[in-house]
A and B are shown apart, each in its own frame.
Chain A
């Protein structure tokens, strides 16, 4: 667990709005998420889940409103330092098709100043050593997803943002992913996942933040920090 006050919420959103021309993707969103909490952003397609995740990953700037991560302004001077603590996996795994899994991870590792042993550990942890030397273009969606997850986890992020991580995974891979994520949770990582078909990943469920048409419908944030979970 990174040193740093556990009391500071991992995510603070106040009055966030995101407009794409006439389309209002997010409307006046405000909520807080504790550190080491798990939140599933649920809602139909187009509800604004992906946009919210991209804003939390500081990839997209909100049209209005304030975003604070770990007590710091996500679009202020500490943005670069904050980015080092965020892992993001979008709908696209974000890997270069012509490069092999290993080459992709080596490149992403260098962007984060991370050593090779971290890559080896992730390859084994996500059971993708067998495809490490293959070009990403040739891999199935399941393998590409896990390779993308490895890329997102390279910098041992404190905040892990995953967009539809379960889609395209078979049952065995999905439960493997679920076990892996719960271990990350226990290690103190704050998780925010987006899914349009909320599957029940077993004991992982903490809070559910449901969105519809860009508006926050409800936030059942049962503050399930690692200690209390059954």
Chain B
């Protein structure tokens, strides 16, 4: 049941962002902002009161409710970047390129948060900061792909080829992610991560709280990406305006 909500939120946000990137005007930001805020508040309340304190790890286990929800926006971000890359290559419409840039930037923020909260949780529970386990390691590699993408975008800034090349790398990078997951599974099969936080395996209160967190974070991702998209549109309008005005 919970995954239905999460899936719905992911589809809704992705659809909204794609629609937003195509159109001229920017509507719905304040609505999305309020929705995200409401979801965050609900999630925070649930973490504090609804979710029980886990017997084995104690209170620190509640990092679970902030660590895991970051995963979806991190992978959703790069997924949208790849989708936008394909869109750009087919239509050469700059709005796709702006969506790719915005979702990559916000996606890398969430990806970094996974890598930050992971060790903070691992230290008290397993005694060392970095835990070479399947999910965390694949997320680290995803973070490197993000880094490479943003560096390429930075180094090739401006020319048309920049947009084409970043679109291509977004596609190739996303195609590599499942292989990275398999390969890390082979190399580091032993996973210290809780066997599989399949929400079904968790007691109801826990999985509901986690679900709320996921929905909230997806909405936050949507809101931040929409705002970043608006900034990107202003940038390109400014770039174009600077040419129109009589330059020397």
A→B interface (CB under 8 Å): 18-22, 24, 60-61, 63
Contacts and interface: CB of A to CB of B under 8 A. Distances in A.
Contacts of B49: none
B53 to A, nearest CB: 55
A22 B92 contact: no
A61 B160 contact: yes
B239 A22 contact: yes
A19 B243 CA distance: 10
Nearest to A63: B160
A22 B159 contact: no
Contacts of B158: 20-22
Interface residues of B, number: 8
Contacts of B160: 18-20, 60-61, 63
Interface in B38-95: 92
A24 B243 contact: yes
A18 B157 CA distance: 16
Given A21-B157, A21-B159, 17 more contacts: A18-B160, A19-B160, A19-B243, A20-B158, A20-B159, A20-B160, A21-B158, A21-B239, A22-B158, A22-B239, A22-B242, A22-B243, A24-B243, A60-B160, A61-B92, A61-B160, A63-B160
14 contacts: A18-B160, A19-B160, A19-B243, A20-B158, A20-B159, A21-B159, A21-B239, A22-B158, A22-B239, A22-B242, A24-B243, A60-B160, A61-B92, A63-B160
Interface of B: 92, 157-160, 239, 242-243
A63 to B, nearest CB: 6
Contacts, number: 19
Contacts of A22: 158, 239, 242-243
Contacts of A61: 92, 160
B91 to A, nearest CB: 11
A61 B94 CA distance: 13
A150 to B, nearest CB: 29
Contacts of B159: 20-21
Contacts of A19: 160, 243
**Most chain B Cβ neighbours within 10 Å, of A18, A20, A60:** A20
A189 B158 CA distance: 37
**Most chain A Cβ neighbours within 10 Å, of B92, B160, B239:** B160
A76 to B, nearest CB: 12
A61 B91 CA distance: 12
A24 B244 CA distance: 9
B239 to A, nearest CB: 6
A216 B157 CA distance: 28
Contacts of A60: 160
A61 B243 CA distance: 20
Contacts of A18: 160
A22 B241 CA distance: 10
Contacts of B157: 21
A22 B242 CA distance: 8
Contacts of B242: 22
Contacts of B243: 19, 22, 24
A59 to B, nearest CB: 12
A183 B242 CA distance: 46
Nearest to B164: A61
A194 B20 CA distance: 43
A21 B239 CA distance: 8
A60 B159 CA distance: 12
B158 to A, nearest CB: 3
Nearest to B238: A22
A19 B160 CA distance: 7
A60 B157 CA distance: 17
Nearest to B243: A24
B27 to A, nearest CB: 26
A63 B159 CA distance: 10
A20 B157 CA distance: 10
A193 to B, nearest CB: 25
Contacts of B92: 61
Nearest to B240: A19
Contacts of B239: 21-22
A155 to B, nearest CB: 26
A73 to B, nearest CB: 13
